[in-house]
Amino acid sequence: MKRLRCIVEKLTEGLLTVSGAITTIVILLIVVFLFREGAGLFKSPTVEKGYVLCVDAGNPVTHLGPKQIKEIFDYEIENWAEVGGKDQPIVVFRFEEIFSRYSDEEFGADYELLPEKLGEVIVSTPGIVAFLPEEYMPEGMPGVKVLRGDHISPADFFGGREWMPTATPAPQFGVLPLILGTLWVSFFAILIALPLGLGVAIYLSELASERMRKILKPTIELLAGIPSVVYGFFGLVVLVPLIQKVFHLPVGETALAGSVVLAIMALPTIITVAEDAMRNTPRAMREASLALGASQWQTIYKVIIPYAGSGISAAVVLGIGRAIGETMAVLMVTGNAAVMPRSLFEPVRTIPATIAAELGEAPAGGAHYEALFMLGCILFIITMIISVTAEAISKRQPNRGL
């Protein structure tokens, strides 16, 4: 019997070891896959895949950045001198315009003359910039120059202020509005949740009766198990119309609505962790403070809160992590406008909401697809920093604040 028990223990130990090793390997593979897919973005061309930009050979401009291309085709830049060329008006030409200049018979039976006709248009139009499919590019034709194709750079991605992945001819993958929108909503969510959560934690730990605590504590912990989409429906039906009415806004889907919903969602984490930290304060410290003549409130903010400081800090950091990583609720109430946040009363878009909204529409392997994976990498790094910070804070000696 004893030998059988030893064998069972060894088998159990081996299974647990293998299980832990497999789990670690799977997590590492997921992280490697995430960063490998995301890094592919910086190998993607600036111009939409399968297309090229052509100019006349006398144009001294050799390449254009994604923002410059967008502004040219949006008619915001109208002279080549603005992008380092000659003082000459820019003539924008799109591929479909060729069919209004020539009849179908002039292109040949299988459109074999189409590249030649496109080349004639480019040569005969000074200052032209033509957006053409690569298969019909008039390659090697005298008088036609193809602009050098740059790749999307980290500066374009991390410093860009526009997120327009479906823009043509140059998609805009500026992630700055999404990062700032995520931090903006999360920051104000914590500003709302922290005083409320800390107040409830103090009440449960120091002021509430045992009976009241047994009722409130499970109820608060139950809030953490409610699906985020339910919070989103609550925000959409209750908070959004209320904010729109109170502040006289054209729409109620704003950063403020997202912050309030996230604050409600972060409260259970903050309350539970902070309350546990306060209750771990030794009873002797409470009694010593009261014996020296301190009131109950003086004991709370001069003894208990400093002693539980590391636990309270960990609660705040974990609450921030919950807010930053939230998807559905934020997607439903923030308006999803990828613009630079300037006010709480304007729509914003967060990184998780962007991934959830666009991943199903992005072609696999394309620049848009890879950009969404790079957003996942950014979110992974942010949450990893938050987790490491929370772990470091929670390991601090609890009496360090005294």
The domain locations on the chain are 51-155, 176-394
Q: How does pLDDT run across 126-161, given as a tens digit for each residue?
A: 899 999 998 888 877 888 898 876 788 898 899 889
The answer to whether residues 370 and 37 touch, using CB atoms and an 8 Å cutoff, is: yes
The first and second tokens of residue 377, run together, are 């990498």
Q: 176-394: same fold as 51-155?
A: no
Q: What is the pTM of this model?
A: 0.84
**The predicted structure's pLDDT at residue 394:** 66
Q: How does pLDDT run across 327-345, given as a tens digit for each residue?
A: 888 888 998 888 888 888 9
Fold of the domain built from segment(s) 176-394: MetI-like fold (1.10.3720)
Q: What is the CATH number of domain 51-155?
A: 3.40.190.10
The answer to whether residues 260 and 192 touch, using CB atoms and an 8 Å cutoff, is: yes
Amino acid identity of residue 397, one-letter, is Q
Query: Who's near 306: CB < 8 A, 6+ residues apart?
Result: 401, 402
Q: How does pLDDT run across 360-376, given as a tens digit for each residue?
A: 888 888 899 999 999 99
Q: How does pLDDT run across 311-324, given as a tens digit for each residue?
A: 888 888 888 887 78
Q: Return the half-sphere exposure (C-beta side, CA atoms, 13 A cut-off) of residue 200.
A: 20
Q: Which residues of 306-330 are buried (b: 16+ CB within 10 A; e: fewer)?
A: bbbbbbbbbbbbbbbbbbbbbbbbb
**The predicted structure's pLDDT at residue 192:** 92
Please state, for a pLDDT cut of 70, what percent of the chain lies above it. Answer: 97
Could you give the angle at which helices 176-202 and 255-279 cross, rounded to 10 degrees? 40
The neighbouring-strand residues paired with 79 are: 89
**Cα(first)–Cα(last) distance of the chain, in Å?**
55
